Structure 1
Amino acid sequence: MLEKIKNTFKNVSSRNGSYSVGMIALVVAIVVVVNLIAGQLPENVKSIDVSDKKIYQISKTSKKILNKLDSDITFTVYAQKKSTDDRIKAFLKKYAALSDKITVKWVDPVLHPGELTKNNVEENMILVSDKKTKKTTTVSFSDIIVTDEYSYYTTGSSTESEFDGEGQLTSAVNYVTSDTQKKIYYTTGHGEGTFSTSVTDLLGKSNIKQEELNLVMKNKIPDDCDLLFIYAPTKDLTKDEVKLLNNYMDNGGKIYVVLGDADKAQPNLKSFLKKYGIQEVSGYIADTQRSYQGNYYYIFPELTATGNLAKGLSSDMVLLVNAHGLKVSDPEDDTVTTTEFMKTSSSGYAISDNDQKQGTYTLGVVAEKSKNGSDDSDGETDSSDIADTGRLTVVSSDSLINPDVTDNMSTLENLDLFMNTVTANYDNVENVSIKAKSLQVTYNTVHHAGIISLFIIFGIPVLILVYGFIQWWKRRKA
């Protein structure tokens, strides 16, 4: 019997079969070993984001915050894990894997209903807590996967519009780990604009509160005002208000002015800006060199921002519409220094009813008033005496944060620049306002296909088919 088995393996077919079986066994063993090793890799290494909108991609801003964690953070998820959206589960797993300080716990609200009341939360909600600061905050699933409710009235069904996993979780982590919170007061009584939902959400993500302030009625800027915002007033300030603003700047106050379309002349506001070397020119600004599709009043400014003002800006695609022009001159006070961060090209024009003047016009500028006369204004926020430095930020168009612009062109960096100019007023606040990622379907359509496009779409497939047919015919003849 043994001799018979030996003879069986002496023929060629038996040896080839044995070799094949051996190779299959080796490949299977290699696959098993590779899978065992891969299973031990951290989630952020072994997970590859293949989603259309890169919803699982985590920015450098979030990674920087997570790398600096010095206390234990717990994400307690009050939901049934099996029925939770796979995108939320996948993102939570990948996000938590970036730091050994983060622990994710799941609590089934059906099995433990008392936990909801005990922790003052609702089902499908994440409770983020810091062991060191004892601070907590919540993130709802509906804030992560945002639904466009308006579509219900137009299409009869609600559609998912955005995925905001990173923005919500990073904001929550920043809130519970931070021991400071800043406050913006925005003025009223002069026909000012109002913040869009997008702006309000971004400010909230950076742990910045907002409250309105009528200077005529109060005649005082509150002590807890970290930034006074004047948003596109259509009416002029009073002389008393200008006096309040100057005193506020003298004492290290921070003011942000966005110019809009005024109903009448604004001599008091202009006098306030002129004191800090900022003068508004007449008319609207056009730019024949840096415009959007030949619309000269739709300007892509040259960004000269540095330091924290330029943080996170990758494409420099900021769009301003119907902007007013500014000219920077010598301030009335020697302790004031000015720094431009947006301007037109040399092909800019200030166009009014009676005239048009070519030149380079400023569209965004920062003026700093230092008590000690320091002149190191460079857009940075890490100077030791920033709390004592008055800071005036001026943007020449409200389209920087107008939702008609920012919400309709998601590739623009308007809101990124805006948040940088806000957080640059503080030495202990980072811009952690991460925008949500769109879930809208992207269609690859070809408009006005040229010769190359037609060749790629039709020519190459035809050539492949012809070549295949020729090869088939040759083999058939052989």
Structure 2
Amino acid sequence: MKNQNRNTRGLRAGGYSIALSAVVIAAVVVLNLLVGKLPSSITKPETSSVKLYDFAEQTRAVAEGVDEDVTIYVWAEKASADPTIDEFLNRYAALNSRISVKYVDPALNPTFMEKYTEEEPSANSLIVESGKRFRLVDTGQIYTYSYDEQTLYYYYMSYGTMPSPDVFDAENAVTNAVDYVTTDVLPTVYALSGHGEIALGSNLSKRIDAENIAVETLSLLTAETVPEDCDLLLIASPQQDITAEELEKILAYLENGGDVLLYTGYVNAASENLAKLCEAYGLRAETGIVFEQASNAYGTPYSLIAEIDSHAITEPLISAKSNVIVPIAHGIQTIDAYRSTLTVTPLLSTSDGAYLKNPETMESVEKEDGDKAGPFMLAAVASETVGDKTGNFLWVASDVFFEDSSALYGNTDFIMNLFGYTCEKESAVTVRSVNLAIEPLVISDSASKLWSVVATIVVPAAAVLAGFGIWWKRRKR
């Protein structure tokens, strides 16, 4: 009887153990299912110092504001997709349930891309599509280079291969693609032509296109007026002066609430009718090239580390503590008197120690007697409200600044902010790339010399003195 009771208790204990194990296993399965439903931002916290998935406020605003179905097709088999892009898209889609991600296996669906492009896209390329339109985002737009095309060419010729991409631009590319496919009306920039204008750098042109801004050419020699759909009139360093008739048309456009972006070099800044345009908005050019003292120059005294002034255009740069380097610039000043309805605001400026030199007569890059002293504006905006319309005249005092060779640090961001501000595309102002490489510290010439002395003289001398002190102390024992 005792053995039977003992066996019964054993069976009960075994039954309890089995039941408890079943409950625990079921709980684990349910927990795993629940955790699997959580967004990857919670289940896979980012530990990378470069913050690949730390979305900008503007990215969240664009994604969360989508009110129609948007599908992101990935040209890759799910199992072999790029893990960084895969994780990025998972987190991006989690921002809005109307955004979905689908993988298209090229081996199973070889003709899928034919309705989107005539060329064979790279693996992991994306198609972002809504009911309105679509945009192809090639892998080369996601992983990009901070180098210009000439540098890449020399690298390839020297080493026989391309360097690894050093910029992860998925947030910028995808956000602008989503913005493009969901926007009802796209902004248009008209570039003035007929005066030997200097074209934008190719990389900058690609960036403008990626921001969903269309660029058309415009000849005011034949057109009666600036088109009504013009969000920004671009005057890109004309090598010949504009005519008096063109000047009248541009002024009429500004007075009607239009926006103009002008950039000039030190040679063409003083053209007669161009000067009249600038003076109509309270500004004039300083003839010559601006130089800086070593503490405010980047490498050479005519590559200026600009002081960034406060304005809606520059606030993202100030917040990010970005540097803007302006090469080979002439100065900008306000005229002695302008109408009270104008508001003139500097965007980029030199230090008080800057000075102006005539490149045709100067004998030294150092400051000499007769050189005009700064400070000077390097970029400015003049705004005027007439009725319910506000016109903006923006001027940048360097045409080299818009070349691909100058696309470093905050320069491209500043230019895109100019376009974004005038085209009223806020997403063009703050959605930025992630540098995969560590960006070098900008050190002025004077600081470089100081730290060279510290590294080569002060530190070794301190080590020698410390060693001598220890030796002397031991010798006294």
SS of 1:307's equivalent? coil
Residues 364, 152 of structure 1: CA spacing in aligned structure 2 closer, same or farther, 3 A cutoff? closer
Match of 2:472 in 1: none
Match of 1:59 in 2: 56
Matched, 1:279 2:280: no
Match of 2:178 in 1: 173
Q: What is the correspondence of 1:68-79 to structure 2 with a 5 Å cutoff?
A: 68-79=65-76
**C-alpha offsets along residues 37-79 of structure 1, whole Å, 9 cap, x if unaligned?**
8655421233344557544443333123223333332212232
* Cα distance in 2 between the residues matched to 1:338 and 1:418: 19
Q: What is the correspondence of 1:391-410 to structure 2 with a 5 Å cutoff?
A: 391-406=392-407, 409=408
SS of 2:181's equivalent? helix
* Cα distance in 1 between the residues matched to 2:263 and 2:313: 20
Residues 316, 331 of structure 1: CA spacing in aligned structure 2 closer, same or farther, 3 A cutoff? farther
**C-alpha offsets along residues 205-262 of structure 1, whole Å, 9 cap, x if unaligned?**
3211112223334454223222111112222222222122112212222111111142
Residues 294, 143 of structure 1: CA spacing in aligned structure 2 closer, same or farther, 3 A cutoff? closer
TM-score (norm 1): 0.74
**C-alpha offsets along residues 349-370 of structure 1, whole Å, 9 cap, x if unaligned?**
2223483122321221111232
Q: What is the correspondence of 1:290-369 to structure 2 with a 5 Å cutoff?
A: 291-293=296-298, 295-313=300-318, 314-329=320-335, 332-352=338-358, 353=361, 355-369=370-384
Question: Does the 8 Å contact 1:202/1:435 carry over to 2?
Answer: no
**C-alpha offsets along residues 414-437 of structure 1, whole Å, 9 cap, x if unaligned?**
121222122212445532574544
Amino acid at match of 1:305: S
**Structure 1 stretch displaced more, 83-92 or 222-231:** 83-92
Cα distance, 1:277 vs. partner? 0.7
Question: Does the 8 Å contact 1:192/1:232 carry over to 2?
Answer: yes
Question: Does the 8 Å contact 1:304/1:341 carry over to 2?
Answer: yes
SS of 2:190's equivalent? strand
* Cα distance in 2 between the residues matched to 1:49 and 1:324: 45
**C-alpha offsets along residues 1-52 of structure 1, whole Å, 9 cap, x if unaligned?**
xxxxxxxxxxxxxxxxxxxxxxxxxxxx9xx89x948655421233344557
1:110 alignment partner, one of 98, 107, 111: 107
Percentage identity across paired residues of the two chains: 29
* Cα distance in 1 between the residues matched to 2:352 and 2:300: 17
Matched, 1:143 2:141: yes
Aligned length: 408
TM-score (norm 2): 0.74
Residues 135, 433 of structure 1: CA spacing in aligned structure 2 closer, same or farther, 3 A cutoff? farther
Residues 255, 109 of structure 1: CA spacing in aligned structure 2 closer, same or farther, 3 A cutoff? same
Amino acid at match of 2:176: S
Structure 1: segments with no counterpart, 5+ residues? 1-28, 373-384, 456-478
Residues 290, 389 of structure 1: CA spacing in aligned structure 2 closer, same or farther, 3 A cutoff? farther
Question: Does the 8 Å contact 2:269/2:287 carry over to 1?
Answer: no
* Cα distance in 1 between the residues matched to 2:426 and 2:432: 17
Residues 290, 245 of structure 1: CA spacing in aligned structure 2 closer, same or farther, 3 A cutoff? farther
Structure 2: segments with no counterpart, 5+ residues? 1-24, 362-368, 442-450, 462-477
**C-alpha offsets along residues 75-132 of structure 1, whole Å, 9 cap, x if unaligned?**
122322223222222222232233333211123232234544466686644221235x
* Cα distance in 2 between the residues matched to 1:432 and 1:264: 28
Match of 1:424 in 2: 421
Cα distance, 1:154 vs. partner? 3.4
SS of 1:75's equivalent? strand
Matched, 1:234 2:210: no
Matched, 1:93 2:90: yes
Amino acid at match of 2:58: T
Question: Does the 8 Å contact 1:183/1:210 carry over to 2?
Answer: yes
Q: What is the correspondence of 1:374-413 to structure 2 with a 5 Å cutoff?
A: 385=388, 388-406=389-407, 409=408, 412-413=409-410
Match of 1:257 in 2: 262
Cα distance, 1:450 vs. partner? 5.4
Residues 217, 160 of structure 1: CA spacing in aligned structure 2 closer, same or farther, 3 A cutoff? farther
Question: Does the 8 Å contact 1:286/1:349 carry over to 2?
Answer: yes
**Structure 1 stretch displaced more, 61-70 or 327-336:** 327-336
Match of 1:214 in 2: 219
Residues 427, 157 of structure 1: CA spacing in aligned structure 2 closer, same or farther, 3 A cutoff? closer
Amino acid at match of 1:155: Y
* Cα distance in 1 between the residues matched to 2:418 and 2:440: 35
Amino acid at match of 2:59: S
SS of 1:171's equivalent? helix
Q: CA RMSD in A?
A: 3.7
Residues 368, 96 of structure 1: CA spacing in aligned structure 2 closer, same or farther, 3 A cutoff? same
Amino acid at match of 1:154: S
1:158 alignment partner, one of 156, 162, 165: 162
**Structure 1 stretch displaced more, 304-313 or 165-174:** 304-313
Amino acid at match of 2:376: Y
Cα distance, 1:184 vs. partner? 0.9
